[in-house]
Amino acid sequence: MAMDVAVAGGHGKIALRLLRLLAERGDRARGLIRNPDHAPDLEAVGALPVGADLENLDPDAIATSISGCDAVVFAAGAGPGSGAARKRTVDYGGAVKLIGACRAEGIRRYLMVSAMGVRDPAARGEQMRPYYEAKLEADEALAASGLDYTIVRPGRLTDDPGTGLIEAAERLERIGAIPRDDVAATLAACLDADNTIGKSFDLLGGQTPIAEALAAL
């Protein structure tokens, strides 16, 4: 059945790929953006742009932006050029605000784009540590929220074309990369795979078709 899905950070590279996939399969795809100039890019992939700055809007306004959705995906991020303060307000604060908005609106399904490095922020260099700490705390808040969560932890993201083949497990013992195309396809597939509810998993490019890899989690 078609779903109504809101993707926070809607103009991001993963988000635009995901919104396109959702629209193509007949879901109602909403992208939450903070810059109105990004709206045409969302419309071009078949998505509905909704203005929602996760840092500066109050929780009620964020709730309104996702009203009526069946699921949300947190794909926002302060990005590599930002300092520790914005890791707190976006990567942690934005994710937590979205949890509150889901609670307020009675939306149960929440997918998180996390990162493999959250497993051990202390092992990271000084510059990356605030990012991984913020992501880890956001993941912990989601896992404790009581929502139907899935936490997806990709390795290094690339813009290579997707292969549809992944490796996914609660803990992968190698490091590596994955195309953003395949992260987006995995997120879309999670929405159809209820066995992923309540799970967190590492995600890399691999040899297994996405649906098969998710079914084995």
Ligand X SMILES: NC(=O)c1ccc[n+]([C@@H]2O[C@H](COP(=O)([O-])OP(=O)(O)OC[C@H]3O[C@@H](n4cnc5c(N)ncnc54)[C@H](OP(=O)(O)O)[C@@H]3O)[C@@H](O)[C@H]2O)c1
Please give the positions annotated as active site: 131
Are the beta carbons of 184 and 14 closer than 8 angstroms? Answer: yes
Q: Does 34 bind ligand X (CB under 6 A)?
A: yes
Q: Does 156 bind ligand X (CB under 6 A)?
A: yes
| Amino acid identity, position 63 | A
Q: Does 83 bind ligand X (CB under 6 A)?
A: no
Cβ-in-10-Å burial (0-12, 13-18, 19+) of 213 comes to: buried
Q: Does 76 bind ligand X (CB under 6 A)?
A: yes
Residues touching ligand X: how many (CB under 6 A)?
A: 25
Q: Write the Ramachandran bin of 173: left for phi over 0, alpha for psi from -120 to 50, otherwise beta.
A: alpha
Q: Does 35 bind ligand X (CB under 6 A)?
A: yes
Q: Which among 213, 161, 203, 172 is positioned nearest to 17, based on CA atoms?
A: 161
| Amino acid identity, position 100 | G
Q: Which is nearer to ligand X, 152 or 191 (CB)?
A: 152
Convert residues 161-200 into a mask of x (bound to ligand X by CB under 6 A) and - (unbound). -------------------x--------------------
Return residues touching ligand X (CB under 6 A).
9, 11-15, 34-35, 53-55, 75-79, 90-91, 94, 113, 115, 154, 156-157, 180
